[in-house]
Amino acid sequence: MSREVNITTGSRLHWGLLSLAPQVGREFGGIGLMIQEPQLKLAVTESAGNSDSMQGSPGSITKIREALAAIRNTCPELYRDRFYDLKLHSEIAQHCGFGSGTQLSLAVAQALASLSEETSLTSVELAQRVQRGARSALGIHGFTTGGFLVEGGKQTAAEISPLVVRADFPEDWHILLVTPTNRAGISGYIEADAIQQLGPMPTATTEKLCRLALMQLAPAVQSHDFEELTTGLTEFGHVVGEFFRPAQGGIFADPQMVELEQKLITRGVRGIAQTSWGPTLSIICQDAAMITSLVTECGYGKYCELRTVRPLNEGAQIQINGD
């Protein structure tokens, strides 16, 4: 029986970056959270044939092919003449703000490394093999650490942004995900073009976002201060959203999500932020059933997927079966 490596990981929420095109200092950076679902489950075995085989959605198969090509280009001595059978048992939806591409690419890299008995690779080294981390590194660090994350930004294009804060997210705080089913977020080349058209982020905006991230949100997570966290996250989301308004048409990518947030705020709900380019909104909850009921009462359950998830405070699970 050939060995099979099974990788299980969750999704990444990206609540916003800290800097863009500064005259001095680091670029990008950001804050986010790993969550248990949507979940990715990948099984990989080495193939006896002379080609790879893949099972999954067309979009995921494309990402797997890209990851394999990058790995073979980076480490030809290990992987150029070896082929694999890869099967996705569970996938993370693409273009919804969950960081699906990074989690899948890292899962492929980790599976191949495990089959080759490379046991000491960091998530940064895995990311370099599959050419991830051009802008955000939250999902890279989250792949092996889980939790609430703050990354510090890049000084050079080749650098992967370092992790500067990592903390367990309170297990009794849940996250309600509201994902419009009739709209997708942007990524890849379209994302890069949108960022380039925005121009530099004002220094005052970066300073405000850094203050919120390091002097309100991170301490609130560590001290389990729900009010401080939810108030600060809502403000953080608005500051980021105002900067990105020209690229996405509003503080959120979906106008109906803007309306939903305003309705929830008038009812005292805080802790609302878009993840990445959307369209998903994430809402930090102590009573997820009550917030879900409010969203449904406001009429958004008809065209949105509503899912309550838990934080993921550990890294990807790696299981090796067989000889």
For residue 302, is pLDDT > 90? no
Cα separation, 182 vs 305, whole angstroms: 10
Dihedral (Cα; 175, 272, 237, 244), 10-degree rounding = 100
Mean pLDDT of 258-279: 96
Cα separation, 314 vs 138, whole angstroms: 14
The pLDDT value given to residue 186: 57
For residue 87, is pLDDT > 80? yes
Q: What is the pLDDT of residues 21-51, one digit of tens each?
A: 998 999 999 999 999 999 999 999 999 889 9
The pLDDT value given to residue 196: 75
Q: Compute the mean pLDDT over every residue in the chain, rounded to the nearest whole number.
A: 94
The pLDDT value given to residue 244: 94
More confident residue, 143 or 187: 143
The pLDDT value given to residue 119: 83
* Residue 130 and residue 67 in contact, taking contact as beta carbons nearer than 8 Å: yes
- Residues in the chain, how many? 323
Both tokens assigned to 188 = 């890849």
Q: What is the pLDDT of residues 89-113, one digit of tens each?
A: 999 999 899 999 999 999 999 999 9
pLDDT tier for residue 314 given thresholds of 50, 70 and 90: very high
Cα separation, 32 vs 14, whole angstroms: 4
Cβ-based neighbours of 215, under 8 Å, separated by 6 or more? none
- For the entire predicted model, the pTM comes to 0.95
pLDDT tier for residue 257 given thresholds of 50, 70 and 90: very high
Nearest to 11 by CA among 86, 88, 97: 97
Cα separation, 128 vs 105, whole angstroms: 11
* Residue 140 and residue 102 in contact, taking contact as beta carbons nearer than 8 Å: yes
Nearest to 213 by CA among 148, 257, 158: 148
Instruction: State the pairing for strand pair 84-90/53-55.
Output: parallel
* Residue 130 and residue 112 in contact, taking contact as beta carbons nearer than 8 Å: no
The pLDDT value given to residue 188: 57
Per-residue H/E/C for the chain: CCCEEEEEEEEEEEEECCECCCCCCCEECEEEEEEEEEEEEEEEEECCCCCCEEECCHHHHHHHHHHHHHHHHHCHHHHCCCCEEEEEEECCCCCCCCCHHHHHHHHHHHHHHHHCCCCCCCHHHHHHHHCCCCCCCHHHHHHHHCCEEEECCECCCCCCCCEEEEECCCCCCEEEEEEECCCCCCCHHHHHHHHHHHCCCCHHHHHHHHHHHHHHHHHHHHHCCHHHHHHHHHHHHHHHHHHHHHHHCCCCCCHHHHHHHHHHHHCCCCCEEECCCCCCEEEEECCHHHHHHHHHHCCCCCCEEEEEECECCCCCEEEEECC
Mean pLDDT of 254-267: 95
Mean pLDDT of 224-248: 96
The pLDDT value given to residue 1: 53
Taking CA 299 as the corner, what is the angle to CA 289 and CA 250, rounded to the nearest 5 degrees?
100
Mean pLDDT of 233-251: 95
Q: What is the pLDDT of residues 166-211, one digit of tens each?
A: 999 999 999 999 999 877 655 555 566 777 778 899 999 999 999 9
How much of the chain exceeds pLDDT 90, in percent? 88
The pLDDT value given to residue 70: 97
pLDDT tier for residue 315 given thresholds of 50, 70 and 90: very high
Question: Token pair 């992967």 is at which residue?
Answer: 160
List domains and CATH numbers for the chain.
Answer: 4-168 (3.30.230.10), 174-309 (3.30.70.890)
* Residue 281 and residue 260 in contact, taking contact as beta carbons nearer than 8 Å: yes
More confident residue, 303 or 186: 303
Mean pLDDT of 8-22: 97
For residue 323, is pLDDT > 70? no
